[in-house]
Amino acid sequence: ERQIGAGGMGVVYQALQASLNRSVALKVLPANLRTSPNALARFQREIEAAARLRHDNVVSVYVSGCDEGNSYYAMELIDGPALSEVLAGLRRDPIPDLAGSIPFQRKDSAAESPSMSERPAWLTAFLTASSASGDDLDSPNRLADLGASAKVGATYFEVAALMLAEVADALDYAHRNQIVHRDIKPSNLLLSTDCRLHVSDFGLARILAEPGVTQSGDFVGTPFYMSPEQISSEVGEIDGRTDIYALGATLYELLTLRPPFPGASRDEVLAKIMREDPVPPKRLNKRIPRELETICLQSLAKEPAQRYQSAALLADDLRRFAAHWPIAAKRSGIAVRSWKWCRRHSSMAASLAAAVGLGVVAVVLAYNAQQSTKEKALAEKQRDAVAARASRIEQDLKTAKAAVIRARQTEQERVFEQALLAAMRGDQQAVQQALIDAEKLGASEGRLLVLQGQVALYSASYRQALEKLEEAVRLMPENLGALALLAETQARRSQASKSWELLGKVRQLEPQSV
C-alpha cells in the first residue's frame, strides 16, 4: 500500500495480506543486495531469530519467502511511532519531570513535536501521570489504564520504568530462547496505541551456539547504545547482558533526554564507552528518583559481571521502583568506584601504586643512610630494587602510551570523519578540503567513492550519490557498508521522486479548484 520505512538492509511497506484481510508490515531486501551472500545470510538470520519468538512485546513474523528473487517477510504492523520519535518530541517540548534535563539535539529530533492539544492518545497516555496508587502500579501494568486526564508529569518516571520492564520481559524471553538482539535502541522499540513497546529489527541478532554473520566492526547505525564487549572482545563475550546494557542506555536517555556517552563522531563515542563513566543522571536532572538512577547505572556497568545478570532481574527492579518497594540494586561506594577505575586503567593504576611505593622506599632509604655500614648495604640493595621498580614503571608507561596511540583513530579515518561532519553542517568548502586530504593520505578508490556517496547523500544529491556508490559497489562487490548505503540512497531517491510526482499532480489540479 505504501512505504513506511527504509534502511540499509531493507525497505518496509504497509501491505494487505489478502488471505486474512489484515494489514501487515512487509520488509523486502533491496535489489542490489540479492546477490550478496553476507546480506542474504543476515536477512535470513533476522527472519529466523524473530520467528522463534512469540511474545506480546516482540513484533511477530507471519510469513517469509522469495518471489522472483525478491526476499521478503511479513510481520505484525505496529500502529504507533518508535520510542526515538517520542524522545524527539520530549526534547522539543519537555514535560515538568524533564524540564531540568540538559537538552541534547540529535539528528532524529528534527521533526516538529505536536502541542499537547494535538498529541495522539498514545503520546498523551505516555506523558500523563497516573492517579493510581502503588498497588495499582504493581498490578499488571497496562498503561492505557493510567487515563489521559491524570496530572501531567507526576509519574513519568514510573511510566517509563514500567514500559521498559515489559521490554526487559521480552528480552529475557529471547535470551531463554538463545537469542541476543544486539541492537536495542529507541528506534527499534515501537510504541503501539495500547502503550506497549514492541522489540523490532532482529537484523543484528545472534543465535547463541551458532556462527554469526556480523563481523567485528561491521555494524550500521548509531553507536550510542553499544556495550563495551561489542567494541572490544577483551571485555567479555556477547550474551544477554549486552542487551541489558543497551536497555540501560535507553533508560538513561528517557531520564535525561541524552545518551549516556554523547559525542561528535563515532570514534569519540566508542572511546568514551570504553574509558569513561556516564554522568550520573541526577546531576543532569535533580527530579530523577535515586532508585531509578541506581537501576540505570547498574545496567550500564562496564563489565558484564557488574550488571544485572538477567533481563528478568532488571524487569523486577523496574517494577519494584514503580511500586515504591526496595530495589535489589545497590549504589557503588567510593571503594567500588575506585576499584572499577583501576580495572579500566590498569597500567596507570600500577604506575601510581609503584610511585607511591617509590616515595615510601625513598623515605626509608634516607633513614637507613644514617645507620650502620650493614644497614647502608641493605639500603643499597633496596635502592637497586627501587631502580628496578622505576624501570618497570617506565615500561608500563610506554605500554600505556602505545595502547592509547593504537586506540586513537588513524589520520585517514579522522579526515573521513571531518568530511561527513562538514557535510552535515553544509560546509562544502570543508568537505572538498577533507576529500583532497583523504586522497593525499592514500585512501583507496573504493573508500573515496563511498565517502563521496555519503557526502552526496547527506546533501540530498541522490543522483550523484547513486553514481558514486554504484561505482564503489562495482569495485567492492562484497562490501556491506557500500551495499547498504546504495540501498538506502535508492530508497530515499524513490521516496523523493514519488513526492515530486504527487506535488506535480496537485499543481495540475490547482486551476480547477479555484
Catalytic residue selected from 97, 169, 172, 183: 183
Residues 45 and 120 in one domain: no
Whether 234 contacts 226, CB under 8 Å: no
Residues 93 and 63 in one domain: no
Residue 496 or residue 289, greater confidence:
289
Asked if residue 132 is part of any domain, the answer here is yes
Same domain for 225 and 372, yes or no, is no
Q: Are residues 112 and 246 in the same domain?
A: yes
Taking a C-beta distance cutoff of 8 angstroms, is the pair 162, 292 a contact?
Answer: no
From 390, 407, 424, the end of a domain falls on 407
More confident residue, 412 or 81: 81
Residue 363 lies in a domain: yes
Residues 78-119: tens digit of each pLDDT: 988 899 999 998 888 887 777 666 444 444 443 444 444 444
Give the pLDDT mean for 301-307.
96
168 and 131: one domain? yes
- Is residue 125 domain-shared with residue 154, that is, in the same domain? yes
Q: Which CATH number fits the domain that encloses residue 17?
A: 3.30.200.20
Domain membership of residue 105 (yes or no) is yes
Residue 25: inside a domain? yes
Domain boundary among 48, 76, 104: 76
β pairing state of 189-191 and 197-199: antiparallel
The arithmetic mean of pLDDT across residues 504-510, rounded, is 62
117 & 206 share domain? yes
Q: What is the CA radius of gyration of the chain?
A: 27
- Asked whether residue 339 is domain-assigned, the answer is no
Structural domain of residue 500, as residue ranges?
A: 411-513
**Would residue 145 show up in a list of annotated catalytic residues for this protein?**
no
> Grid coordinates standing for 203?
537484523
Examine the domain organization and report whether 318 and 366 are in the same domain.
Answer: no
The domain total for the chain is: 4
Burial of 231 (0-12, 13-18, 19+ CB in 10 A): middle
pLDDT at 116: 42
Identify the CA nearest to 313 among candidates 168, 198, 187.
168
Reading the block at residue 354, the C-alpha cell is 609503584
Q: 119 near 283, Cβ under 8 Å?
A: no
**Cβ proximity of 199 and 345 under 8 Å:** no
Interval 269-286: pLDDT, tens: 999 999 999 999 999 999
The pLDDT value recorded for residue 342 is 53
The reported pTM is 0.60
Per-residue model confidence as pLDDT tens digits over 21-38: 899 999 999 888 888 888
Kindly tell me the number of DSSP H helices and DSSP E strands found in the chain. Answer: 19, 9
Mean pLDDT over each residue of the chain, to the nearest integer: 77
Q: Show which of 309, 333, 357 is a domain's final residue.
A: 333
Among the residue ranges 142-156, 235-249, 314-328, 482-496, the one predicted with the least confidence is: 142-156
Q: What is the structure's pLDDT at 232?
A: 87
| Residues 136, 283 within the same domain | yes
- pLDDT (0 to 100) of residue 112: 41
Model confidence at 194: pLDDT above 70: yes
The answer to whether residues 167 and 260 belong to one domain is yes
Q: Is the pLDDT of residue 252 over 70?
A: yes
Residue 420 lies inside a defined structural domain of this protein: yes
b/e burial code for range 290-318 (CB count within 10 A of at least 16 → b) = ebbbbbbbbbbbbebebbbebbbbbbbbb
Q: CATH number of the domain at 231, please.
A: 1.10.510.10
Structural domain contains residue 338: no
Residues 474 and 492 in one domain: yes
Domain membership flag for residue 319? yes
Asked if 385 and 422 sit in the same domain, the reply is: no
Cα separation of 389 and 34, whole Å?
60
Contacts of 388 (CB under 8 A, 6+ apart): none
